[in-house]
Structure 1
Amino acid sequence: MKRLLFLLLCVMVLSACSKGEKKVENDFPLHMEVGDFTGVNQDGKKVSYSDLKGKVWVVDFMFTNCDTVCSPMTANMAELQRKLTDEDIDAHLVSFSIDPENDQPGVLKEYASGVGANFSNWDLVTGYKQEFIESFANKSFMAAAAKLEGSNQFVHSTSFYLVDEKGIVLQKYEGVSEPPYEQIVKDIKSLQ
């Protein structure tokens, strides 16, 4: 009986000690490597994978002519940006347009300005071929991205993705309806 109590006490102490530790990659459900990309942001400045190395970033996929989910997702990304700023958390936001033909830099800037975006740590990226972004979303994020036949609309993921400083996708979150802001902030803090 004493031995059982001792073991139980050891387990409780060890579990209590581990709660204060930082999360490591293995604590997250995903482990996908982001592929290389090059595009331009809302200011027409080059943005590439190498520019984000060493940073924690949150990614989504959107397009400005979207009839449904992109507007709330973009507003939610802006809200996440405000929460990160309030917590003094250094993280970068990246929104990849899945309609690069229409979403030129000025169009993206006007669109995100409408939700109060701060462009100091948020890049809305375009400037690549349609085939590239569809393949990139699928291979790097296991996310759908495809033009609907006979329409100006696209099928795409509605998640926010957490990427660590090594370019590994670690977690995805609901991006449209009630994003888990507190959990996203907590997870980003755990990586810093």
Structure 2
Amino acid sequence: MKKKSIMLALILTLSSILAACGSYKFEPEMNIEVQDFSVTNQHNEKVNLENFKGKPWLAMFIFTNCNSICPPMTFNMTDVQKALKDKGLEDYQIVAFSVDPEVDKPDVLTNYLKTYSVPDESKWQLLTGYDQKFIEQFAMKSFNSHVKNDPNSDQVIHMGRYYLVNADGTVVKDYDGTTDVPVDIIVADIKALSK
């Protein structure tokens, strides 16, 4: 009986080692084509969808005057980037669309990013240079994400999600960006899409 228990334990251990060594299989959960755009980044450079094709990217919607979910979302994204760096992953970008473009001019976005411990700023694109109507429609059409001005305050209502976009410009997955951020899954997904 003892011999059988030891054999069973060895088989289970070997199975888990093989499972851990096996290749992670990425499963897309969404299929939304990102609409073309022409906007301005935090360096006051014009960028469009073509600039982001060829590698996976993580998108989010934030604004610098946010007093609720944006600070934790941005902080959590720095944790995601640290984990990507720890795994030696370099072939990705982080793209943040401002939902308050009237306030979030390029210099404001640059200063906002400086308030976080960002492992590699060159991977970040903070975008503005459009009007409120554009970002509300773009978020819904390209990410199925709700963005709306709050008529009772200077805040903008938006979702606290991260969106994974593949190298072709298609949204394939989303994740919680505020409290239960699945950092390991995001890293595994980006690794799978980077191959």
Q: TM-score range by the shorter chain?
A: 0.7 to 0.9
Q: Does residue 139 of structure 2 align to residue 128 of structure 1?
A: no
Gaps of 5+ in 1: 1-15
Give the root-mean-square deviation of aligned CA atoms. 1.7
Residue number in structure 1 paired with 2:81: 81
8 Å CA contact retained: 1:34, 1:140: yes
Post-superposition shift, 1:21? Answer: 5.3
Q: Does residue 169 of structure 2 align to residue 188 of structure 1?
A: no
8 Å CA contact retained: 1:147, 1:153: yes
Q: Does residue 71 of structure 2 align to residue 99 of structure 1?
A: no
- Distance in 1 (alpha carbons) for counterparts of 2:105 and 2:67: 18
**Mapping for residues 1-192 of structure 1, pairs under 5 Å:** 20=22, 23=25, 27-89=27-89, 90-117=91-118, 118-191=120-193, 192=195
Post-superposition shift, 1:156? Answer: 0.5
SS in structure 2 of the partner of residue 59 of structure 1: strand
Gaps of 5+ in 2: 1-17
Moved over 6 A (4+): none
- Distance in 2 (alpha carbons) for counterparts of 1:144 and 1:150: 17
Post-superposition shift, 1:20? Answer: 4.2
Q: How many residues align?
A: 174
Post-superposition shift, 1:155? Answer: 0.7
Post-superposition shift, 1:119? Answer: 2.1
Deviates more, 1:78-87 or 1:153-162: 78-87
8 Å CA contact retained: 1:59, 1:95: yes
8 Å CA contact retained: 2:24, 2:188: no
Post-superposition shift, 1:178? Answer: 2.8
Post-superposition shift, 1:150? Answer: 3.1
Q: Give the TM-score normalised by the residue count of structure 1.
A: 0.86
- Distance in 1 (alpha carbons) for counterparts of 2:84 and 2:48: 23
- Distance in 1 (alpha carbons) for counterparts of 2:68 and 2:81: 22
One-letter code of the match for 2:53? K
